[in-house]
Amino acid sequence: MITDRTKPAMKWAASELKNRGKKVYLVDLSGEPDPNSLKNVISLPSGIANAVIGITKSDPGDLVPLLREKGANKIWLHWTTKTEKALEACQKLKLECIIGYCPMMYLGSGLSIHGVHRMIAKVTGKY
């Protein structure tokens, strides 16, 4: 999970994935990184398979090649964070790229803004 803290759902998604027993590495690129997080993508261990990018202060496309070097083969660009550079990098590196959705729409449960979003997506066929 790559965040600059401009997308609050990234923290919730990381927490929910951990609650489900997934190994989650949080890379915090904000000006005041969480002390329990990694400070850059280079610090990630090799062998990661998936990455969720939720940054708006810089272009996620700059991170895609570094994530590929770490083993990522699937990149999820959080809702409203996709850029042409990121899409082109994913295509060039033959990475599966998910765009246009918030992970919490799929991870969240119960009555919440994410649950309402999920319901609307299901009704409109976008889930």
In order of start, what are the domains of the chain with their CATH numbers? 2-102 (3.40.50.720)
Dihedral sign for Cα 104, 106, 107, 109, please.
positive
Sheet containing 2-3, strands listed edge to edge, beginning at the edge strand earlier in sequence: 27-28, 2-3, 50-54, 74-77, 96-99
What tens digit of pLDDT does each residue of 78-118 get? 888 999 999 999 999 999 999 977 676 656 566 655 555 55
User: How far, in Å, CA of 29 to CA of 90, rounded?
Assistant: 21
| For range 11-21, the mean pLDDT | 86
Q: How confident is the prediction for the chain on average, in pLDDT?
A: 87
Among all chains, which residue has been given the structure tokens 């927490």? 15
Percent of the chain with pLDDT over 90: 63
What pLDDT does residue 35 have? 95
Return all residues near 6 (Cβ < 8 A) that are at least 6 apart: 54, 55, 56, 57
Nearest residue to 82 via CA among 125, 52, 114, 44: 52
Q: What is the pTM of this model?
A: 0.82
Judge whether 28 and 14 are in contact, CB under 8 Å.
Answer: no
- Number of neighbours of residue 10 by Cβ within 10 angstroms: 25
